[in-house]
Structure 1
């Protein structure tokens, strides 16, 4: 285990305990989420170090790292994913005006990049998990690297996307600096992360599945992610809701809370979360759209 001494957003070194959550996927261990006393940024602290974090991803139910996870929740996930993949492709085409070069960071088994390639994009991926990366390489027959440092900034990307990935990255400052270097001057950076200030996060508290400790090292909100990227030379131009996430996360959360999936409650909480988000902007998950300042 390692302890983070300074807030990655504001540099403050004093934290308070926000929640204590259990790892329901792999270890059943409990982990503490701390909150910065200065800017309210939340992070899992202490957390597994680089040598041990991989053990917490070793689950057949970790759906982004394999294409064969079974069960009703994962079946629902895949049905919704087919729709959201089309929506993501439509979004990047709108933002860029035409197909170009895209880098998907944390590409998993390559489902999104497969859609992009079919839409005319030149695709590259980064995926640290060797098993998922092997599947992506076989599927895409494209450049999929294990580290951002392996990409060269002399061929900048028009779009760089991180779909539910930033919360897994331990060194935020170093990684965001690299993203800035790899992005074209007029390019777009897409960051999709859970929002720990959403209705469903407050409703489920320590059972909220999107805390996903210890795999999720950081727990973002609109008020903390913008200053983090601003200090690295990015400007936030828009944020978009991910409406399906409220329902999927609620299904997992009810299972963590009671031991079984309560589909009716999941529907009710998902609807309530999306309804409140229309007023507050605090969707269960958000896509943040950044440009270079």
Structure 2
């Protein structure tokens, strides 16, 4: 393993972290991991736990989230798993599960953050705090929307998730792609790194290798088109660009254009199955 990049927590603490490249799996590892990692999720700026609309960036995130939720359900339906038992890990404030339930799915969710669980409860969705509490359950669909990169003890978590999935079920994972054009362009300012909350940073190779070790294979890979724009927006802001909206639009657009040829989109969705 060797140093890939030095970066900072530009969202909250401004603390510095190293990204270490694991060549055998083509993935990056955040070091060091703070002992008080949970405290890095407590700020009001951590939007997936707050439903915040305080800023233009927050409002934009909420608009995109609604569109993305509909796309996610359509993706599941396209795999032939409509109206099945669905588990969402890292459910945030529960909006995806609410919509999935309205579409006929029997839903369950896991969310370790107390504030986010409380907001979900207010919306009528009861979330479980810990994945291990569901050890006696099984599901047809398990989803992790930008969550895998947050999970400690990665191999244990993947093993647990695999055990919860029915033999004919599908696992859907969305993660940032550090091999994308925008990741390379922004370097240490790339918002997709989001250290130290993101403990792991994946490529297409690393996802295939990690899950192969647990008897799972990638069925298909889909792009998340909006992520290039949103990540570019935050990255330009971290750089201190006063005109970050305009610049971010063109950077996000160029990243997606490049990815049409390279297939290395800013974020990727992986549909996996056992076998």
Q: TM-score range by the shorter chain?
A: over 0.9
CA contact (8 A) 1:252 1:261 kept: no
Instruction: Quote the Cα distance in structure 1 between the aligned partners of 2:181 and 2:204.
Output: 14
Unaligned runs of 5+ in 1: 1-14
User: What SS class does the counterpart of residue 224 from structure 1 fall into?
Assistant: helix
Find 1:85's aligned residue among 60, 69, 93.
69
User: What number of residue pairs does the alignment pair up?
Assistant: 275
Q: Deviations over 1:175-203 (max 9, x none)?
A: 00011110111100001000000000000
Comparing 166-175 and 61-70, the one that deviates more: 61-70
User: What SS class does the counterpart of residue 24 from structure 1 fall into?
Assistant: coil
How much has 1:133 moved relative to structure 2? 1.1
Matched, 1:290 2:272: yes
Instruction: Quote the Cα distance in structure 2 between the aligned partners of 1:161 and 1:261.
Output: 36
How much has 1:25 moved relative to structure 2? 1.2
Matched, 1:161 2:147: no
Unaligned runs of 5+ in 2: none
Q: CA RMSD, aligned part only?
A: 1.2
Q: Deviations over 1:204-262 (max 9, x none)?
A: 00000010000000000101111001001101000000000000000000000125351
**Which residue pairs with 2:79 in the alignment?**
95
Instruction: Quote the Cα distance in structure 2 between the aligned partners of 1:141 and 1:132.
Output: 11
Matched, 1:121 2:122: no
CA contact (8 A) 2:88 2:144 kept: yes
How much has 1:47 moved relative to structure 2? 1.2
Find 2:128's aligned residue among 145, 150, 169.
145
Matched, 1:197 2:179: yes
How much has 1:278 moved relative to structure 2? 1.1
Going from structure 1 to structure 2, the CA distance change for 1:45 and 1:113 (only over 3 Å counts) comes to same
How much has 1:166 moved relative to structure 2? 0.4
Q: How does 1:194-233 map to 2 (within 5 A)?
A: 194-233=176-215
User: What SS class does the counterpart of residue 96 from structure 1 fall into?
Assistant: coil
How much has 1:170 moved relative to structure 2? 1.1
Stretches (4+) displaced over 6 A: none
Matched, 1:271 2:243: no
Find 2:167's aligned residue among 185, 188, 202.
185
Going from structure 1 to structure 2, the CA distance change for 1:149 and 1:261 (only over 3 Å counts) comes to farther
**Which residue pairs with 2:58 in the alignment?**
74
**Which residue pairs with 1:236 in the alignment?**
218
TM-score (norm 2): 0.97
CA contact (8 A) 1:241 1:286 kept: yes
